[in-house]
A and B are shown apart, each in its own frame.
Chain A
Amino acid sequence: MKVLMFGWEFPPKIYGGLAVASYGITKGLSLQGDVETTFCMPRPTGDEEKFLKIVNMSQVPVAWRDVYYDNIKDRFVGHTAEDYYRFRDHLYADFNYLQGLDDLGCIPFAGGYPSNLHQEINNFSIIAGVLARSEQFDLIHAHDWLTYPAGVHAKQVSGKPLCIHVHATDFDRSRGKVNPTVYGIEKDGMDHADCIMCVSELTRQTVINQYHQDPRKCVAMHNAVYPLSDEIKAIEPHKNPGEKVVTYLGRITMQKGPEYFIEAARRVLARSHNIRFCFAGSGDMMNAMIELAASYGIADRCHFPGFQRGSQVYECYKNSDVFVMPSVSEPFGIAPLEAMQCGCPSVISKQSGCGEILSNVIKVDYWDIDAMADAIYSICTNEALHRYLSEEGQREVDQITWERVGLRIRNCYDQLLNNGWFDNDTYLKFKA
């Protein structure tokens, strides 16, 4: 089975959760044995793992250039020069009018999320037309709204079924005040999709209710985590025995509900003074949060170490006694799973998708700061609860693997290819 996959990020270059999820999904699929994935992304670094075929969209031609093999054969990152010539044989229109074409007739991408993002999304979809004509594949899989237009284009060219993967919707990012352009792109992608994979039931409901999709073609496809590497396991936690550390880790922005964390901290600190609150991350609300903490007179107990990268993240989890994710709307939220891998008990909001597959965490409503404070205090003061959540949580999260996600996605593919359509009820029956 061959899958043409469109994605925007892939490790080792990580901008956000999308890269991690894309890696997990492709890895999970590759473990199935007979799924061959071609992953198309704007600008690979060349250091990607080699278990799948990568197509560098910055080096797929959209205009014909007469280039000699010997001159260009070493220039390719991702795919090869042979691929380039094959793509060149399948040009479908003359895109010479486009500005910024290079000497290979390709449109270079900046990568990441530049300010001309909408332009890049459009270019991405133009190139997808070339790929759809030159590659052999059984279905198309597009990750997140940036690649939906490309997926739709590829479907229209090839007539193959389209699967889109909703990692987040604009409703999550904006607390309900959606950007109409983004909404339009998302809705169009969903309308054309044959199967919509949502990272949680919560997201699935948003897709059904806010994007008016048929529930039968929407399926909840929860994310997973990779097992910790040995070097991360070897990190020694530094804990001050007299003090407890409560951690928030993520962007400090509206979607993540940092102000509720401050309110809970204030309630806890009114009662107990050996607890510290750590805000790891950066974001547009960071300064507002520092001011809020100061106005409550708890700034001496609230720490803002800034954005954490790589192993710092895991150090942070290991040094914490409680991890809190008070997100107002979180499509999935992989952070609590990572915290649990490090043996750190988590308190998450009921509005987080990962709560649907976790039972050894404390779930509270994001606005219920009393409950949140109570949960934090309880874990900090009751050793038995901390131990239970830490041990059982670790055990639970070890069962949530990408390999299983891969198998479930595989089941969806099979159904889509065998029946020609996707039905969630059939899938659920099969799963059970």
Chain B
Amino acid sequence: MKTICLYFEIHQPNHLKRYRFFDIGTDHYYYDDYENERAIVDTAQRSYIPALRTMLEMTQTYGTYFRVAFSVSGVVLELMEQYTPEVIDLLQQLADTGCVEFLAEPYSHGLASLGNTDSFILETKRQARKMKELFGHTPKVLRNSSLIYSDEIGALAAQMGFKGMLAEGAKHILGWKSPHYVYRCAADNRLSLLLRDYKLSDDISLRFSDTSWPQYPLMADKYIQWIAQLPEGENLVNIFMELSALGIYQPLDSHILEFLRALPAAAMQADVNFATPSEAIAKNKAVAPMEMLDPVSWNDEERDTSCWLGNGMQREAFNKLYDEKIVGRILACPDRRIKQDWDRLQASDNLRFMTTKPMHVNLYRSFYDSPYDAFTNYMNILGDFLKRVRDMYSEDVENDELNSLYTQIANMDAELNTKENEISRLRARLDKYEPKADHAPEEPKPQPEKKAAPAKAPKTAKAAPKTKKK
């Protein structure tokens, strides 16, 4: 019996504004709010909302037969919280049906997995917490930004406790092998790999409305037939794409959603199942290790990282962004604005705008004229951001020192907390023995004390670096 594993990525970058070099040091706000609002509202209205509604209806019609998975980047969640909370509502409703799995991914949709391991682990965990908070499940399967995967990243994911990871079924990696099996990570066999079937995925996300495509028009029964007719043993078909493929790349008037809606019925007839990534991993045994030494992604014909790191400018921006000292400082510092800017600046789209690869399709470049324009603008912003990070602590403080300082503060806070709890406990006990001594037995409530403790912590945290500067 064949199984379809359907997964959609939800991500939109934060659009940067035009930032000239003379703004460096004077202007610390980097985003084009108007464009952000326009883009996310437009995408939500044309794609996310109709597509998610359709899937919600499908779960109502087919019960638990229809299954689907999503991953939502942290930066787009922030945007949606601000501009289109209805998308989050829809996702929550979908989560409540039990047919949907949410995957973990790096919060920023950035390239931390290639640049800085610590930051990658932290932001993936942060994203997983956010998923738990919003949708009630802790993700068990990881998908990296743009499906970037290599053995090294796989090993990291396994260490973090993930059961599986999504990756691209790139031709140059697979060779004669089929993507329709579960594989395991070559560096750590605890981790299972689901490989994208790029042909069947792109049939929907790229070619569906292309009238010059010989298979046009694509109908659900024909599509399911392709899957049903796969050779014996090739049981798992991984169809991964961006959610905006439904409605933006393939416009709604191409009847893409009708196609989606008709899929389960056609699949039922042909005895084809749906599964979420976790279920697919649980049901199918990994057949062999899959070695991927160099990072592979789902972007471009090359399926590698060349669209982000292909030229010198991109590598320069990347190296500046993931400079070890800088990352250490950002991770250590308690400043929320710095952390938020860091998330937004990491988004891989920023690097993608600088690509100089010849493109067969028109590349969306935001408002930039050229890759050089994109680079200049990004470097100006990064220049300001890095300056802010550097200004927080003096140059000669090592990150280890900084970290130990902050751990010390955290430990002292914890110590203070336990001591205060102890005091209040003892005082309560004291009150029991001397009830008439004073008339305020309610005064030392443990609750307000607990609240006060975290409020004090940042104060001490802020004070510490200042003293260190001297």
- A384–chain B nearest beta-carbon distance, Å: 3
Known: A378-B379, A392-B356. A387 touches B21 (CB 8 A): no
Residues of the B chain whose Cβ atoms lie less than 8 Å from the Cβ of A389 = 372
Contact A362 B370 (CB under 8 A): yes
Q: Choose among A359, A363, A382 the residue that contacts B375 (Cβ–Cβ < 8 A).
A: A382
- On whether the beta carbons of B21 and A383 are closer than 8 Å, the reply is no
Complex CA distance for A105 and B434, rounded to whole angstroms: 136
Whole-angstrom CA separation of A267 from B20 in the bound complex? 10
List chain B residues, Cβ under 8 A from A370: 20
Q: Is the CB of A271 within 8 A of B316?
A: no
Query: By the criterion CB–CB under 8 Å, are A382 and B316 in contact?
Result: yes
Known A362-B370, A363-B369: A384·B312 in contact at CB below 8 Å = yes
Q: Does B33 count as interface, using CB distance less than 8 angstroms?
A: no
Cβ of B117 under 8 Å from chain A: no
| Residue from A359, A373, A383 in contact with B316 in the complex, judged by beta carbons closer than 8 Å | A383
**Contacting residue for B21 out of A271, A384, A388, CB 8 A:** A271
- Asked whether, in the complex, the Cβ of B380 is within 8 Å of the Cβ of A378, the reply is yes
A267–B380 alpha-carbon span in the complex (Å): 15
Within the complex, the shortest CB–CB distance from B380 to chain A, in Å, comes to: 7
Q: Which residue of B lies closest to A270 (CB)?
A: B22
B376 x A385 contact (CB < 8 A): yes
Least Cβ distance of A151 to chain B in Å? 39
**A384 B372 Cβ-Cβ under 8 A:** no
Do residues A384 and B313 form an inter-chain contact, with CB atoms below 8 A?
yes
Verify if A377 is at the interface (C-beta below 8 Å from B).
yes
A267-B22, A270-B22, A384-B312 known; A375 vs B369 contact (CB < 8 Å) = no
User: Any chain B CB within 8 A of the CB of A374?
Assistant: yes
B14-35 near A? 1/0 per residue, CB < 8 Å:
0000001110100000000000
A377 touches B372 (CB 8 A): no
Total number of B residues with any Cβ neighbor in A under 8 Å: 21
A43 to B383, CA, bound (A): 58
Given A375-B372, A387-B312, A388-B312, do A382 and B379 touch, yes or no (CB 8 Å)?
yes
A362 to B383, CA, bound (A): 20
Residue in A267, A271, A362, A387 whose CB lies within 8 Å of B372: A362
Q: B285 in the interface, Cβ–Cβ < 8 Å?
A: no
Q: Is the CB of B370 within 8 A of A378?
A: no
A-chain residues with CB within 8 Å of residue B370 when the two chains form the complex: 359, 362-363
Asked if A374 and B313 make an inter-chain contact with CB atoms under 8 angstroms apart, the answer reads no
Given the complex, which residues of B lie within 8 Å of A381, measured CB to CB? 21, 379, 383
Report A-chain residues with C-beta under 8 Å of the C-beta of B24.
Answer: 271
Is A385 within 8 A of B20, CB to CB?
no
B61: Cβ under 8 A from any A Cβ = no
Q: What are the interface flags for A351-378 relative to B under an 8 Å C-beta threshold, 1 for contact and 0 otherwise?
A: 0000000010011000000110111011
CB distance from B25 to the nearest CB of A (A): 9
Main SS at interface, chain B: helix
Query: Which residues does chain B contribute within 8 Å of A359, judged by CB atoms?
Result: 370
Is B96 part of the binding interface, using a Cβ–Cβ cutoff of 8 Å? no
Q: Please, how many angstroms separate the alpha-carbon atoms of A267 and B21 in the complex?
A: 9
**Per-position binary interface string of chain B over residues 346-381, scored 1 when its CB falls under 8 Å from any chain A CB and 0 otherwise:** 000000000010000000000001101101110110
B315 at interface, CB cutoff 8 A? yes
In the complex, what's the smallest C-beta–C-beta distance from B363 to chain A, in angstroms?
A: 13
Give the residues in chain A near B20, CB-CB below 8 Å.
Answer: 370, 373-374
Q: Indicate if B311 sits at the interface (CB-CB under 8 A).
A: yes
Q: In the assembly, what is the distance between CA of A271 and CA of B24, in Å?
A: 9
B207: shortest Cβ distance to chain A, in Å? Answer: 25
Chain A residues with Cβ below 8 Å from B317 are 384
Report the separation of the CA atoms of residues A382 and B377 in the bound assembly, to the nearest whole angstrom: 12
Chain A residues lying within 8 Å of B379, measured Cβ to Cβ, are 378, 381-382, 385
Expressed in whole angstroms, the minimum distance between the Cβ of A356 and any Cβ of chain B is 14
Closest to B383 in A: A381
Q: A267-B22, A270-B22, A363-B370 are in contact. Are A374 and B312 (CB under 8 A)?
A: no
Residues of A within 8 A of B376 (CB): 362, 374-375, 378, 382, 385
Chain A residues within 8 Å of B380, by CB: 374, 378
Residues of chain B in range 1-56 having any CB-CB distance to chain A below 8 Å: 20-22, 24
Contact in complex: A384, B369 (CB < 8 Å): no
Query: What's the nearest-Cβ distance from chain B to residue A244, in Å?
Result: 14
**Nearest A residue to B372, CB-CB:** A362
Question: CB within 8 Å of B: which of A384-398?
Answer: 384-385, 387-389, 392
The residue in chain A whose Cβ has the minimal distance to the Cβ of B314 is A384
Which of B22, B311, B356, B375 gathers most chain A CB within 10 Å?
Answer: B22
Cα–Cα distance between A373 and B372 once the two chains are bound (Å)? 14
Which of A271, A362, A363, A392 meets B22, CB within 8 Å? Answer: A271
Q: Are A377 and B21 interface neighbours, CB within 8 A?
A: yes
Contact with B along A387-416 (1 / 0, CB 8 A): 111001000000000000000000000000
A215 CA to B423 CA in the complex, in Å?
A: 92
Residue of B312, B356, B372, B375 most packed against chain A (CB within 10 A)? B372
Contacts of A387 in B (CB 8 A): 312
**Known interface pairs A363-B370, A385-B376, A389-B372. Does A373 touch B311 (Cβ–Cβ under 8 Å)?**
no
B375 contacts A374, CB within 8 Å?
no
* 268-318 of chain B: CB within 8 A of chain A: 311-313, 315-317
Residues in chain B near residue A270, CB distance under 8 A: 22
A392-B313 Cα distance, complex, nearest whole Å? 12
Kindly state the separation between the CA atoms of A371 and B21 in the bound complex, as whole angstroms: 10
Partner of A385 from the list B21, B369, B375, B383 (CB cut-off 8 Å) is B375
Contact with A along B374-410 (1 / 0, CB 8 A): 0111011001000000000000000000000000000
Instruction: Give A162 Cβ to nearest chain B Cβ, in Å.
Output: 39
**Which 8 pairs across A and B sit closest by C-beta, in order of nearness?**
A384-B316, A378-B376, A377-B21, A388-B312, A384-B312, A362-B372, A374-B20, A384-B313
Residues of B within 8 A of A (CB): 20-22, 24, 311-313, 315-317, 356, 369-370, 372-373, 375-377, 379-380, 383
Known contacts A375-B376, A385-B313, then 14 further A-B pairs from the complex at CB < 8 Å, ordered by chain A residue: A271-B24, A363-B370, A370-B20, A374-B377, A374-B380, A378-B372, A378-B375, A378-B376, A382-B375, A384-B312, A385-B316, A385-B372, A388-B313, A392-B356
User: Can you give 9 contacting A-B residue pairs, CB < 8 Å?
Assistant: A359-B370, A373-B21, A374-B377, A381-B21, A381-B383, A382-B316, A385-B312, A388-B311, A388-B313
